[in-house]
């Protein structure tokens, strides 16, 4: 029985994306899987050796004026939306699926896959090496500290740090 198969080389053409806005920069070594399920806004920067892993269902949507640092990993099987004017530090991991624990009688790898979307609001800053877990909603204007592991929602303008990440204060709201 064959358990695994290749997802391809990660090589891509801009025309393969569902949408690829103007002034989008892909640095050397960026890999993209299932680009047909990925929409990128205008003025998006994708840093060196980042992996954008789309999926055959659900969508990865990135807004305008987004900066993604090098060596990030976005796995959007459960669906992912990233707002506009968001900065994402190097090494950030965003995951949208996991294997449900079904007890000792079954290997975790053979267990059901659960899909849970991640949403990041406008005007956020996600610190270096932060991890955003499946099902999390990060509100508008949130700052996530470096190395934080976000396992629960963070309200608008919150500052969340630690493992697991906890809100430690509120930022002043942006006046538009």
Q: Could you please report the per-residue DSSP string of the chain?
A: -------------GGGSSEE-TT-EE-TT-EEE-GGGEEE-SS-EE-TT-EEE--SSS-EEE-SS-EE-TT-EEE-TT-EEE-SS-EE-TT-EEE-EEEPP--TTS-GGGSPEEE--EEE-TT-EE-TT-EE-TT-EE-TT-EE-TT-EE-S-B-TTEEEETTTTEEEEEPPPPP-
99 noted as active-site residue: yes
Q: Does residue 89 contact residue 69 with C-beta atoms inside 8 Å? A: yes
**Candidates 7, 48, 75, 99; catalytic one:** 99
Catalytic center residues: 99
């Amino acid at each position: 029985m064959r358990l695994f198969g290749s997802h391809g080389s990660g090589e891509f053409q801009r025309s393969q994306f569902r949408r690829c806005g103007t002034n989008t920069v892909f640095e050397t070594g960026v890999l993209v899987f299932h680009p047909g399920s990925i929409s990128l806004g205008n003025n998006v920067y994708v840093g060196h050796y980042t992996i954008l892993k789309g999926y055959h269902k659900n969508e990865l949507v990135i807004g305008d004026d987004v900066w993604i640092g090098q060596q990030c990993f976005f796995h959007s099987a459960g669906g992912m939306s990233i707002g506009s004017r968001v900065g994402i530090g190097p090494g950030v991991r965003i995951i949208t699926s996991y294997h449900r624990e079904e007890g000792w009688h079954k290997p975790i790898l053979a267990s059901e896959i659960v899909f849970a979307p991640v949403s990041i609001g406008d005007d956020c800053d996600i610190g270096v090496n932060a991890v955003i877990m499946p099902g999390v909603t990060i509100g508008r204007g949130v700052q996530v500290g470096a190395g934080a592991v976000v396992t629960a929602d963070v309200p608008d303008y919150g500052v969340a740090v630690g493992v697991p990440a906890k809100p430690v204060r509120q930022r002043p709201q942006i006046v538009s």
